Amino acid sequence: MVAAGGGEDRVLLALLADGAFHSGESLALRLGISRAAIWKRIGRLEELGLAVERRSGRGYRLDGGIELLERDRILVALPQATRDVLHRLEVHDVVGSTNELLLRALRNGTASPGTVVLAEQQTAGRGRRGRRWMSPFAGNIYLSLAWRFERGVAALEGLSLATGIAVVHALECSGVTGVGLKWPNDLVAGEAKLGGILIELEGELSGPVDAVIGIGLNVRMPRATAALIDQPWIDLETLVARRADRNALAAALVVSCFSMLPRFAAGGFGAFGDEWRRLDVLAGHDVTVMAGDGRALHGRADGVDPNGALRLLHAQGLQLLVSGEVSVRRSA
């Protein structure tokens, strides 16, 4: 385990994963260390933000249990077509940011397009517009994947929208309904944010570009982290009112993204228009858009153009926006 010190912590976590009480003595026996050492390691798990209940006479319990990401479980769930394009799958415990790690690896040649990076926790998770992405340990999904586009940056318009569609497809294949897309790349349920997408690029303006596509999905947000989020949000387990299988979800995301990417590389966003219309939560609403240049624009959202730009109708006519942050205006 990267930050929590040694593979033994993963073993300890695996023992506590069932959410039942385990005595210090039995844990010490299983790990072949002293009870005092167990006590110390429990402290390290708490430092990761995990809620460990300590009860005298009964031992330790991970409140609600936990499901750790397991590379082998994810790999085994991938069909051959996905394995054919997957270069490597990495599962980390603690990283700064999966996007940042993958970008750096592409830059120094230690990763290739087709690499997927997942982490249990991000200490410097990146959101859009320089925001921080809350990334508590083992609660949510933080996934980045790399893909090479041969035709330069201009051919990538609409990629984040197509990625949003791929994420919703993965959720639908996993039995989750009721998730929509808020332009440009928020995953929403009702008015609450379920996840987001951050695409970062490495390469030439007109030559081959490596895109790192980062997906953050709230699965089970710990209460302590929830208090720090400054916008309406929801997690998957609340939405579906049952436990989620993060390994199966991670696999579904990889399958869906790797099926969308060749399609997007070949034909751009155009082929995704119908799907966008089905999932677009803004269409027909009065909105305010904080445009990339800081201007606030008011109008009615009218879907997107064939490149994925937002169509905003207002008194002066139609305006196409390629970036920005949208909020829906409520009538008084």
List contacts with ligand BTN (CB under 6 A).
97-99, 122, 125-128, 131, 133, 142-144, 186, 196-198, 214-216
Nearest to ligand BTN of 40, 131 (CB atom): 131
Considering the complex, state which of residue 38 and residue 74 has its C-beta at the smaller distance from ligand BTN: 74
- Closer Cβ to ligand BTN, 149 or 233, answer by number: 233
Q: Rounded to an integer, what distance in angstroms lies between the CA atom of residue 282 and that of residue 302?
A: 8
Task: Write phi, then psi, for 115 (nearest 5 degrees).
Answer: -85, 140
Smallest separation (angstroms) from ligand BTN to the CB of 320: 22
3-class SS of residue 188: strand
**Exposure string (b/e) for 174-208, b if CB count within 10 Å is 16 or more?**
bebeebbbbbbbbbbbeeebbbbbbbbebbeeeee
315 vs 204: CA distance, rounded Å: 39
Q: Which is nearer to ligand BTN, 117 or 304 (CB)?
A: 117
Catalytic-labelled residue, pool 83, 243, 263, 329: 329
Structural contact between residues 42 and 52, judged by C-beta atoms closer than 8 angstroms: yes
For the bound state, the minimum distance from the C-beta of residue 5 to ligand BTN, rounded and expressed in Å, comes to: 23
Q: Confirm whether 44 is a catalytic residue.
A: no
Q: Which two three-digit tokens encode residue 308? A: 């994925």
DSSP 17-48: TT-S-B-HHHHHHHHTS-HHHHHHHHHHHHHT
> What CA–CA distance (Å, rounded) separates 63 from 53?
7
Among 61, 182, 193, 220, the one annotated catalytic? 193
Would you say 24 or 324 has its CB closer to ligand BTN? 324
Other CB atoms within 10 Å distance of the CB of residue 35? 14
The CB-of-216 to ligand BTN minimum distance in angstroms stands at 3
Q: Provide the minimum distance between the beta carbon of 323 and ligand BTN in the complex, in angstroms, as a whole number.
A: 13
Q: How many CB atoms lie within 10 A of CB 330?
A: 8
d(CA 99, CA 145): 8
Q: Which of 128, 148, 300, 311 is catalytic?
A: 128
The torsion angles phi and psi of 328, rounded to 5 degrees, stand at -85, 135
Q: Is 329 a catalytic residue?
A: yes
Q: CA 260: distance to chain centroid?
A: 16
Nearer to ligand BTN, 82 or 144 (CB): 144
- Shortest Cβ 128–ligand BTN spacing (Å): 4
Give the C-alpha separation, 149 to 142, whole Å.
23
Residue of this chain nearest to ligand BTN (CB atom): 196
Shortest separation between residue 22's beta carbon and ligand BTN, angstroms: 31
Instruction: Decide if 223 is catalytic.
Output: no
The residues annotated with a catalytic role in the active site are: 128, 193, 329
